[in-house]
Amino acid sequence: MIRRVLIANRGEIALRIIQACREMNIETIAVFSDADARAPHVLAADRAVAIGPAPAIQSYLSIPTLISAARAERADAVHPGYGFLSESAAFARACEQAGVVFVGPPSEVISRMGSKIEARQLMQSAGVPIVPGHVPHDQSDSGVRRALEEIGFPALVKASAGGGGKGMRVVEGIAEATGAVQAARREAVASFGDGTLYVERLLDRPRHVEVQVFADAFGHTTHLFERECSAQRRHQKVLEESPSPALTPALRQRMTQAAVAAARAAEYRNAGTIEFLVEGRGDGANFYFLEMNTRLQVEHAVTEAVVGVDLVRAQLLVASGEPLPWEEGSLAQRGHAIEARVYAEDPSREFLPQAGRLLLYREPRMPGVRVDAGVAEGHEVTVHYDPMLAKVIAVGETRDAAISRLAAALRAYPVLGIRTNIPYLLAVLDHSRFRSGDIDTSFLDREAGDLVHSVPEPPAFLREALRQLGDEADEPRTTTHEANTDPWLTLRDWRA
């Protein structure tokens, strides 16, 4: 059994892993850059190791540094979380070579599924539906352009190593094909170091529905139902929920069976996600394999809420050589769960990421609400990392109840010092089409103007409170106790 885990990540996912390890009596080792020396995940872990300067490439993305830290601290295992190196076959391989357990799939599986082209071919051979498309042998601009003409317009040109919308362009007609191919290739090379491209038919307003899968080393592969992830802004998920309001029982059965078949074809192990695009409605809808995420998902808490499992605990058990802690027939969806990602960004300024100190930060505390956060009051939000502050997960007996509870939680979530997307999230939750469940992956982008314009300015009393807190933070304080010299420990209480 794993006894000591180095967590190669930061923020809320590092805290989530620490929580699971504490319950399992596993010692935790946090890593931190210079910018994160006093971050909550560092203070929560049993031990902590400095790994370099603030830029991620010199710290959280440095494989030699992380392996050296794991060896120096005699870690049994490394948990990569999500983001950073979580889907790096090179990192998983380095852990294997160092004799350290990588909490995730084997490196060869990550490599196999990390190539969208190879993954498409594998899924096709396993009988899993894929989006009609073509992988041109001629990877020149003219070769990819010819492949687009063969598929027909509108179409998508996509990077083989892509993700998060990077290296992807919509091509409406032949006139814009060359420019789109060149732009996609430039972005793919800059983001992933790989300019290989392929083309797909552009589906008509599809939904994005993913299936959580899990496998152990004993041949057991199972699913834990689906998550609806169609509420996306520029290909980045904003809200996730389960069950999907679009799936009938028959369609759910078909999709979960296909997801299990995909995981088996990949010879998968540990937690993973099969992402599908769904076109059409009802039992006759078509679904197509999009990609496999070979890691824990940001939105894993949604599945935990409706299925009643701990996915991080299961990850650690499987990585320790234990069998899955459940059988497929024993799992069921109960109620409804929905998650909102709270970001440090300004919706009124093109969602510009925000940086600064959290002068006031109060998480909602109410029945049926869970907050996974990576920050605390007084914490400095920097420009170096992803601007997500927290995830708010609400559960209810029905979808309407869960949405209403999430909205109530967000309204009870004051944050001062930086702008957040909370008002924008509330506008989305209040939108009639979102309430009805009639959305697709382009919904938020189509409604962007109305949604952003409906975001109100902060109330005057909040602006005044911010000014007062800022003034108070700047005032010099006299104290004889060294521990009280930090103004964030001596500010007077304030409530909205």
| CATH label of the domain that carries residue 282 | 3.30.470.20
Separation CA 488–CA 246 (nearest Å): 47
Of 47-56, 64-73, 327-336, 386-395, the range with the lowest mean pLDDT is 327-336
Q: Looking at residues 79-99, what average pLDDT do you find?
A: 97
Same domain for 414 and 309: yes
Q: What is the 3-state secondary structure (H, E, C) of 286-308?
A: EEEEEEEECCCCCCHHHHHHHHC
With respect to residue 484, please indicate whether it lies within any of the assigned structural domains: no
* Residue 457 confidence (pLDDT) above 50: yes
pLDDT digits (tens, 9 = 90+) for 375-428: 999 999 999 999 999 999 999 999 999 999 999 999 999 999 999 999 999 999
pTM (whole model) above 0.75: yes
What is the pLDDT, as a whole number, of residue 336? 98
Same domain for 323 and 242: yes
Same domain for 158 and 54: no
Last residue of a domain, one of 184, 201, 218: 201
Please report which confidence band the pLDDT of residue 476 belongs to, taking 50, 70 and 90 as the band edges.
Answer: very low
Known catalytic residues are: 295
Same domain for 214 and 196: no
The H-assigned helical ranges of 45-115 are 63-72, 89-97, 107-114
With respect to residue 480, please indicate whether it lies within any of the assigned structural domains: no
With respect to residue 294, please indicate whether it lies within any of the assigned structural domains: yes
Same domain for 284 and 428: yes
The chain-wide mean pLDDT, for the chain, equals: 92
- CATH assignment of the domain containing 16: 3.40.50.20
Q: Which helix (H) or strand (E) holds 343?
A: strand 336-343
Last residue of a domain, one of 201, 234, 253: 201
484 vs 355 pLDDT, higher one: 355
Report which DSSP code applies to 482: G
Nearest to 79 by CA among 62, 68, 66, 65: 66
With respect to residue 481, please indicate whether it lies within any of the assigned structural domains: no
Phi-psi map region of 52: left, alpha, beta (phi>0 left; psi -120 to 50 alpha): left
Same domain for 323 and 439: yes
With respect to residue 390, please indicate whether it lies within any of the assigned structural domains: yes
Structural domains in the chain (count): 3
Same domain for 75 and 145: no
Same domain for 327 and 443: yes
Same domain for 227 and 179: no
With respect to residue 464, please indicate whether it lies within any of the assigned structural domains: no
* Residue 324 confidence (pLDDT) above 80: yes
User: Could you list the residue range(s) of the whole structural domain that residue 344 is in?
Assistant: 207-453
- CATH assignment of the domain containing 169: 3.30.1490.20
Same domain for 211 and 197: no
pLDDT digits (tens, 9 = 90+) for 238-265: 999 999 999 999 999 999 999 999 999 9
With respect to residue 491, please indicate whether it lies within any of the assigned structural domains: no
What is the pLDDT, as a whole number, of residue 363? 97
* Residue 233 confidence (pLDDT) above 80: yes
With respect to residue 482, please indicate whether it lies within any of the assigned structural domains: no
Last residue of a domain, one of 103, 123, 144: 103
Same domain for 234 and 307: yes
Same domain for 178 and 303: no
